[in-house]
Amino acid sequence: MTEHHGQAQTDDSRASALKIGVLAVQGAFQEHARKLETLGADAVLVKRKQHLEGLDGLIIPGGESTSIGRLMREYDLVEPIRGLVGEGMPVFGTCAGMIVLANRIQGGEQPHLAVMDVEVNRNSFGRQRDSFETDLDIPAIGSPPFPAVFIRAPHITQMGEGVEVLATYDGRIVGVRQGHRLALSFHPELSEDNRLHQYFLDLVRNPRT
């Protein structure tokens, strides 16, 4: 993984590797970066806006959405990321990342990137003692079910047209896709299963599938 982008690509075999940014201001960004490298992509830790150059896609990790939002604002990352997503750069948010992507957040927290037409409810499954693991059916990746880890997880309460449900749990929407934008309530970066990261990389290679 590279701390800073723009290093010379001397190895031909890496030239075709996807370059995926992981927003690295707070949260479980290393876990995402490790997944990406396992799947043959280059992971770039994004702390400042200059790290956004030349990315094929961006992951917003789990963490605390208020911390992540605060640090994005302090370092002028909000507008550049919104711009890139508006131009079609694929983006993938997990847990706090889902909150960061949402247009609307219940309970007074100001929206952060506001690039997905969904409304989220923060900590909708309760406090930490209610956090859980479960096997989740996700038709988009087929069987077997995905071992999903929910930690103080949000869920989606409303969504606009053009947003597709990828997964539900206990009657609540916990996974959505809106074109090149993907958001999950849970933490695929904490599971051994790589299928959801692979799904995102496939989406990056071919955003219209």
Kindly give the pairing relationship between strand 19-23 and strand 42-46.
parallel
Interaxial angle between packed helices 65-74 and 78-86, expressed in degrees from 0 to 180 and rounded to the nearest 10: 100
Question: What is the nearest approach in angstroms of other proteins to the Cβ of residue 159?
Answer: 22
Binding mask 142-181 for other proteins (x = CB under 8 A): -------xxxx-----------------------------
Name the residue nearer to other proteins (CB basis): 145 or 179: 145
**Residue 88 Cβ, how far from other proteins at the closest point, in Å?**
28
Q: What angle do CA 92, 127, 25 make, to 5 degrees?
A: 40
Looking at 1, 56, 104, 132, which residue binds other proteins (CB under 8 A)? 132
Give the burial string for 154-183 (b: 16+ CB within 10 Å, else e): bbbbebeeebeebbbbeebbbbbbbebbbb
Which of 57, 63, 93, 188 forms a contact with other proteins (CB under 8 A)? 63
Catalytic site residue 189? yes
Binding mask 31-60 for other proteins (x = CB under 8 A): x---------------xx------------
Count of residues that bind other proteins according to CB under 8 A: 40
Please state, in angstroms and rounded to a whole number, the distance separating the CA atoms of residues 25 and 48.
9
Is the peptide bond preceding residue 144 cis, with omega within 30 degrees of 0?
yes
**193 near other proteins, rule: CB under 8 A:** no
45: left (phi over 0), alpha (psi -120 to 50) or beta: beta
Chain CA centroid to CA 114, Å = 13
Q: How far is the CB of 66 from other proteins (least distance, A)?
A: 6
The residue annotated as part of the active site, out of 51, 112, 155, 189, is 189
Q: How far is the CB of 4 from other proteins (least distance, A)?
A: 10
Q: Which entry of 51, 95, 155, 197 is annotated as an active-site residue?
A: 95
What does DSSP say about strands 181-184 and 172-178: parallel, antiparallel, or unpaired?
antiparallel
For other proteins, the binding residues in 71-90 under the rule CB under 8 A are: 71, 74
Contact between 200 and 97 under an 8 Å Cβ cutoff? The reply is no
Backbone angles phi, psi at 64, to 5 degrees: -110, 120
Q: Is 187 a catalytic residue?
A: yes
Q: Which residues are catalytic?
A: 95, 187, 189
State the residues that interact with other proteins by CB under 8 A: 3, 24-31, 47-48, 62-64, 66-67, 70-71, 74, 95-96, 107, 109, 122-123, 127-135, 149-152, 187, 190
